[in-house]
Amino acid sequence: MKKQLIKPESTFKMYEILGGLWLTGCVKTAAELNIADLLAAGPKAISLLAEKTQSHEAQLYRIMRALSSAGIFEESESKTFALNDLGAALQTNVPGTAKNFILTIMSEHFPAYGDLTYAVHTGKIPFDHIHGKSLWEFYKEYPEIGENFGKGMTGMSGMELKGIIENYDFTPYKKMVDIGGGNGVMIHTILDNTPNSAGIIFDEANVIEKTVQMIPDRLKERCSVAIGSFFDKIPEGADLYMMKWIIHDWSDDECVQILKNCYHAMPKGAKLLIIDAVIPDDSYNQPHMAKLLDIVMMSCLTGRERSLQEFKIIIEKADLQFNRLIHIGTEAKSIVECEKA
């Protein structure tokens, strides 16, 4: 069997790619130790960081040195570290934080990424294989871990919500339903920009308990909740429905079921927004965030990231009409607008 000669630069590039794994391990440690929170008040010497985090100073320094070399935090003389813009994304409970999502990816999700061959050989889900239960069952059994996952989704929504508001006009719609709306951050943001509209956050009972508590006082007259499963029945009679990072969690058949339930709930002329990553149909050999997010889906769920053509297929099977694709300034999300014609 003839083999191709390996160029030294190719081997080096492979080590660079592998280095991303090692660096991500350092990011996880910084998140777990709340390093960004400690540095928010100002630069600190490694000795003080070690004292505050009850860490071994020499080992912590090696982690911080690696992170700073990648532009996460900044090191100065005397082993002193400062917060920078990239490191700031690891702060706790700050809008736009990546901390919770990192802890999700590097904790319960992480073993699944090392078992992708299982998925390729069997067509099954590595997360289920490793944990003995589905992702959603796992979060119901360990609600505190599920809560961190929810916070991770919220943290990733900051820039996306700005893009959604700036690129889609919600003002014509008087009644809106956020399907699988979780803690309600998206509908809160939309209602703040549409003073004449009302919104419903629709999700399962274990989620809605906390959702109710998070509705801001200023919106309580216009924002309500509904309990149920989008696999059964969806609140009827709204003129706009939306799902953010929902459809990508499920297989094509499951998506068609969800979309058909949307169809049955929607009056004629109502719109449905599927807010998900969309892989460009002609992006051969080109990098795109959705191609990597798709590996998360394959590792942990029955779902997948889809191209626009693949979205059109499941939309048509649910008897909905595709209207348009709207870009919002990030590869991680676009808006696929559908309608009940």
Half-sphere exposure of 328 (CA within 13 A, CB side): 27
The 3-class secondary structure across 18-87, one letter per residue, is HHHHHHHHHHHHHHHCCHHHHHCCCCEEHHHHHHHHCCCHHHHHHHHHHHHHCCCCEEEHHHEEECCHHH
Q: Which of 56, 121, 248, 288 is catalytic?
A: 248
C-alpha 271 chain-centroid distance: 23
Count CB-CB contacts under 10 A for residue 246: 20
Question: What is d(CA 177, CA 262) in angstroms, rounded to the nearest whole number?
Answer: 10
The yes-or-no answer on residue 248 being catalytic is yes
Name the DSSP class of 312: H
Instruction: List own/partner pairs for 51-56 with CB under 8 A and 24 or more apart.
Output: none
C-alpha 227 chain-centroid distance: 22
Name the DSSP class of 177: E
Q: Which residues are catalytically annotated?
A: 248
